[in-house]
Amino acid sequence: MAAARFPYRRGQTILLVGEGNFSFARSVAEQLGAAGGVVATAYDARETAGEKYPDLDAHVAAVERLGGTVLFGVDGTQLARHKRLRARRFSRIVFNFPHVGLGIKDQDRNVRANQELLLGFFRSARPLLAAGRPAPPPAQDPPDSSDSDGARPGKRRRRRRHRSHGPTAGVLVFEGVEAQVVYDADSAGSEDDEPQPDEAPGQIHVALKSGPPYDSWAIRRLAAECGLATHATLPFSPAAFPGYEHRRTLGYKEGVSSDANKEISDKRPRGPRLGLDEKRKRMMDIFHEAPEPYLLKELERIGPKQKGIVAQSVKDVVQSLVDDGMCHCEKIGSSNFFWAFPSEAAVRRRNRRAALEKELAQQQAAREELAASIARAQLGREQTDERAVLAEELAAAEAAWKQQQAELQQFKECDPVVLGRKRDDARHARDAANRWTDNIFIFQSWIREKFNMDLDEFNKHMGIPADLDSV
């Protein structure tokens, strides 16, 4: 089993956002040895945080003893406005398991509220990221830590790294165990390492649980909306942070909250995303395995647990099945019931098979007709010596014709036909000019006789040249 990796090193400036009992901050500070570059913040005021987390004072004292800074009453969506933070720049800004903690029962409202929290955090954190210079790529990927708490033994998780080039700020998303957090490929270090200034662009590290409803938060899309690139998604290993104890936003509750970080390590690994066709197939399996009517709420509960269908998509999947006539919907009282019978599925499959067989026969007939047409067209076109000689003569004639066309184009201006056409055009233009000139003379005579007007004065007003005459 590969050892869990600690993702930070001395010399980095680290801002921790949304700390609960500060056990994470303490673990980071103790592993760094000297925490002068660590600033740990909490949203709650000191008194409120102390009431929520009984072990808070001990962790805060340990961080401060190692030189770290602890701040209370820091809004994670207003970091750039905080007087103690706005002038500083950080190589790592870390937000573990963000959640509004408002107890919103409506799933859609809950998702939107947490998306607004993440958007506000990204927009507020980005100005505080150190600009740095692009770091050279590592020689090799760091050891795989996917076999930490909750991962299946003997299996190695394939990592996909999405690299961004240039000095751009980015986000690392840790999904793991199944919570999500991000590790930097260069982050390994030991207590014997000398402090090294971080010259790479700053990074935002977000740890987020995987699975519903957290997948619906669409953290990568939210980061992109704020101009941030997601560099990688890696497993979050609590074992990399000895002494860290995950706590809920609402605080530690006896009998509800658990030690050993089970709340983040017992999540099931997220499987591949399902397409609509696969979701429809799995939903039909639910109907056929127990052919009885279901309420939509029952399907939203069964779908994620038994078939891996995200609860938010169940309604759309069921409606698409109803629209296609694959399942039935009946309103009884104030509730809609959905069901489908296996026998109907068998009939649909037989009809589909018959339609496909008919279409196949039509395609085969069309193919045979096309083959026959090609054979008819090839009759008399067999490749013989005589045909080859005729083809060479045709090519030579075409080349000669093209050469003659080029020569004709060169002498086009002297073409008698063209010259004759130009003479005719010139004669027609002259006759038209003389005809309109005569009209002007007639109009001048009429003006002089009708109004006894001086022609020179008239020509001046009308813009008629004094030397106007026929061509």
Q: Which residues of the chain have pLDDT under 70?
A: 1-3, 103-105, 132-199, 248-273
The pLDDT of residue 415: 76
The pLDDT of residue 161: 39
CB 231 within 8 A of CB 172: yes
Span 276-340: which CATH code? 1.10.10.10
Token pair 């499959």: residue: 349
> Mapping DSSP to helix (H, G, I), strand (E, B) and coil, where does residue 328 land?
strand
The pLDDT of residue 162: 38
- Determine the Cα–Cα distance for residues 101 and 222; give it in Å rounded to an integer: 19
- Determine the Cα–Cα distance for residues 11 and 7; give it in Å rounded to an integer: 13
The pLDDT of residue 407: 84
Using the CB atoms, write b or e for 281-306: b if 16+ within 10 Å: ebbbebbeeeeebbebeebbebbbee
CB 92 within 8 A of CB 205: yes
Neighbours of 95 (CB within 10 A): 23
70: which strand partners?
Answer: 40
The pLDDT of residue 269: 47
End-to-end CA distance of the chain: 107
Identity at 438, one-letter amino acid code: D
pTM, whole model, 2 decimals? 0.48
pLDDT in tens, 367-421: 999 999 998 888 877 788 888 898 999 999 999 999 998 888 887 777 788 888 8
